[in-house]
Structure formats: C-alpha cells, structure tokens
Amino acid sequence: MTTENAKPLAGRTALVTGATRGIGAATAKTLAERGAHVILVARKVKALEEVEDQIHALGGTSTIAPLDLTEPDSVTRLATAIAGRWQSLDVLCLAAAYLPELSPLSQMDPKQFNQALLTNLVASQALLASFDMLLRRAEAGRVIGLTSSVAQSPRPYWGGYSATKAAFENLLETYAAEVERISPVRVAIIDPGATRTEMRARAYPGEDPRDVKPPEVVGARIADLLGEGFTTLHRERID
C-alpha cells in the first residue's frame, strides 16, 4: 500500500463537533487515521484529551478546542483562533446534537427544547457563518451534517428533536444552494440510521446495543465520502 493510499486525507484539516463520543469521536479518529489533522470540539476537556490520545496512538494528529457551542460568541472566537493558524478548512463535520427527553409536545420541558434549539440549530448556523470563508479557501471544502430520520418523518414524542433536525436540514440545504455556483464547497446530509451511541441508548433503553452497528461504521463512510466527488447537496442514509 502506498503512502497516498494509506493517508488519502493527508494535508487536509477537519473540524468535528461533538468529538468526544459516539459518531463524532469515531469520525474524528477515522479522519485522523487517514491523514487529516482534526480539530476536536466539545465541552469536556478530559474527554477531548482521551480522544486525542487515541488519535495519537493511531499515528494521527489533532488539536483540542474545548468550548460550549451554545455560549454567545464561542463559535466566533473559535473561528478567529483557527483562522490565525490555518488558511483554510477542508471539512466541517456537524456531529454535535442534543436530544430532549421524549415526551408529548404538550408536556415538553421548555428548557430542554431551548437547549435543543441552541445546540442543533443556532450553533450550526453560527458554525456555517463563522467558517464560511475558510471553507471557501479550501480546494474542495466539505460540510457534513448528521441528521435523523425523524427530521423528515416525525413520530410521536420526538417533536423537540425532530423539529430542530428538520430546521437543521433546511439550513444545510439553503447553504448548499447559496455556495453552489460561487465556490467549490459542497454539503452532505448524512442520516446514520440506527447506531450504537449514548443518545440511541437513551431513546431506546430496552434495545440490545449489539443489534445496531457501531459508530465506527458511520465514521468510515464519512471518511470515504470525502474522497468522492458530488455536486451541490449529497444525501444518504447509512444502514
């Protein structure tokens, strides 16, 4: 195997939110293993350091960026810091998400719904806005957004999550249409399907986790997708 084949993402810089667990962590490790320098974004410093240690053990490189995406101006500060070190950003992977407790709309906890709005929607818009120029400077900037089937097929008790994910998808579709003709930036919306994560365990407490695929499967597919050419907006579900 040649070095190029072993490290197909060498020279690229990727930012992954929600990078301390689940699909975010799996994606970050896969991208780093394939040669990308990965900027790990999440709230907990210790958890970020653990993922970074795992990346280094795989022979990869990373930078940790501990912050709460929902805090005012946090994303702007992050973008300013990254722009001071890198001239462009090749990959922006939006994997961070918040799942409110499943409940009827009439009984939804307002604080949890607000947290879902801030994490799943407001922070995503801030990330797209703050990293837009760095993405455009890349040779082939890519935005990867993790969604859920409930965004397009609402179901009882999932309203707090499905509504924010539906808006999240609309946000990405709008951005894809805006950058299509004026930059090489392209957008992919990925529905990971049933995946062995903490969020999944909360939503389906009686499910045997061995019955669903591990997050590494999703991380590998996202890494593969970055080597494929696609126009405007790519959408797929990983079964």
Tokens at residue 102, please? 């499943």
- The residue among 64, 69, 48, 77 whose CA lies nearest residue 15 is 64
Is 98 one of the annotated active-site residues of the chain? no
Q: Which residues contact 182 (CB under 8 A, 6 or more apart)?
A: none
Among residues 157, 161, 175, 204, which one is catalytic?
Answer: 161
Tokens at residue 181, please? 């003709």
CB 236 within 8 A of CB 190: yes
For 29-69, give the DSSP string: HHHHHTT-EEEEEES-HHHHHHHHHHHHHTT-EEEEEE--T
Burial code of 169-203, b = ≥16 C-beta within 10 A, e = fewer? bebbbebbeebeeebebbbbbbbbeebbbebbeeb
Beta-bridged to residue 94, according to DSSP, are 145
In 40-183, which residue ranges form alpha helices assigned H by DSSP? 45-57, 74-83, 110-117, 123-137, 159-179
d(CA 218, CA 5): 20
**Which residues does the annotation mark as catalytic?**
161
